[in-house]
Amino acid sequence: MKILLTGATGYIGKRLLPILVEQGHEVVCCVRDKNRFYAPKPLLKSIKIIEVDFLKKESLTAIPEDIDAAYYLIHSMSSSAAHYNELERISAENFVSRINETKAQQVIYLSGIVNDSSLSKHLSSRKKVEDVLNTGSFAVTTLRAGIIVGSGSASFEIIRDLIQKLPIMITPRWLDTKCQPIAISDVLEFLSKSLLNPLTYDQNFDIGGPDILTYKEMLLGFAKAKNLKRRIYTIPIMTPKLSSYWLYFVTSTSYKLATALVSSMKVEVICKDNRINTLLDVQPMTYELAVSKALLKIDKDDVTSSWKDSLISGRFRGNISKFLKVPKKDCYIDRRKKEIINKAFTIERIWSIGGETGWYYGDWLWNLRGFIDKLYGGVGSRRGRTNKHDIHAGDALDFWRVLYANKEEGKLVLFAEMKLPGEAWLEFKIINNTLYQSATFKPKGIWGRLYWYSVLPFHGFIFQGMLNKLIQ
Residue 138 belongs to some domain of the structure? yes
- The Cα–Cα gap between 175 and 163 comes to 14
How far is it between the farthest Cα atoms of the chain? 67
Residue 118 lies in a domain: yes
Burial class from Cβ neighbours inside 10 Å (0-12, 13-18, 19+) for residue 445 reads exposed
Residue 102 placed within a domain = yes
Q: By mean pLDDT, which of 21-30, 363-372, 439-448 is the weakest?
A: 363-372
Task: Assess whether pLDDT exceeds 60 at residue 81.
Answer: no
Examine the domain organization and report whether 173 and 105 are in the same domain.
Answer: yes
Residues 27 and 89 in one domain: yes
DSSP H helices, 11-115, are: 11-22, 41-44, 84-99
Find the domain containing 399 and state its range.
323-471
- Above 50 in pLDDT, residue 80? no
Question: What distance in Å separates the CA atoms of residue 191 and residue 279, rounded to the nearest whole number?
Answer: 13
Between CA 222 and CA 298 the distance in angstroms is 14
Beta strands in 125-166 (DSSP E): 139-145, 148-149
Res. 6: pLDDT tops 70: yes
Q: 400 and 438 share a domain?
A: yes
314 lies in some domain? no
Query: Read out DSSP for 4-32?
Result: EESSTTSHHHHHHHHHHHHTT-EEEEEES
Mean pLDDT across 402-418: 93
Would you say residue 9 has pLDDT above 50?
yes
Q: Of all residues in the chain, what percent carry a pLDDT higher than 90?
A: 60
Which tops the pLDDT comparison, 26 or 115?
Answer: 26
CATH number (domain holding residue 115): 3.40.50.720
Convert the pLDDT of each residue in 217-237 to its tens digit: 999 999 999 999 999 988 877
Least Cα distance to 184 among 215, 224, 143, 148 occurs for: 148
245 & 342 share domain: no
Cα(472)–Cα(467) distance, integer angstroms: 9
> Do 240 and 264 meet the contact criterion of CB atoms below 8 Å apart?
no
At 79, is the pLDDT very low, low, confident or very high (cuts 50, 70, 90)? Answer: very low
Q: Is 394 left (phi over 0), alpha (psi -120 to 50) or beta?
A: left
Q: Is residue 191 part of a domain?
A: yes
Domain contains 312 = no
Q: CA torsion, points 163, 369, 359, 423, in degrees to nearest 10? A: 120
Which of 307, 335, 366 lies at the terminal end of a domain, its last residue?
307
The domain total for the chain is 2
Per-residue pLDDT, 242: 78
Helix residue spans in 139-204 (DSSP H) = 154-165, 184-194
403: amino acid identity, one letter = L
Residue 356 neighbours by CB distance under 10 Å: 8
Of all residues in the chain, the percent with pLDDT exceeding 70 is 95
* Judgement on whether residues 155 and 126 belong to the same structural domain of the protein: yes
Residue 357 sits in a domain whose CATH number is 3.30.530.20
User: What type of residue sits at position 185?
Assistant: S
Q: Which amino acid is at 395?
A: D
Do 347 and 403 reside in the same domain of the chain? yes
Q: Are residues 371 and 462 in the same domain?
A: yes
Domain boundary among 278, 307, 336: 307
Residues 334 and 302 in one domain: no
DSSP three-state, residue 313 = helix
Tens digits of per-residue pLDDT, 170-208?
888 888 889 999 999 999 999 999 999 999 999 999 999
For residues 283 and 339, membership in a common domain is answered with no
β-strand pairing of 148-149 with 182-183: parallel
Average pLDDT over residues 353-379: 89
Report the pLDDT value the prediction gives residue 380, as an integer from 0 to 100: 84
pLDDT at position 82, please?
57
Res 143: pLDDT: 96
Q: Let me know if residue 297 belongs to a domain.
A: yes
CB-CB neighbours of 21 under 10 Å: 20
- Side by side, which strands form the sheet with 411-416? 332-339, 434-443, 422-431, 411-416, 400-406, 396-397
Co-location of 426 and 467 in the same domain: yes
DSSP string, 116-133: SSS--HHHHHHHHHHHHH
How confident is the model over 429-443, as a mean pLDDT?
94
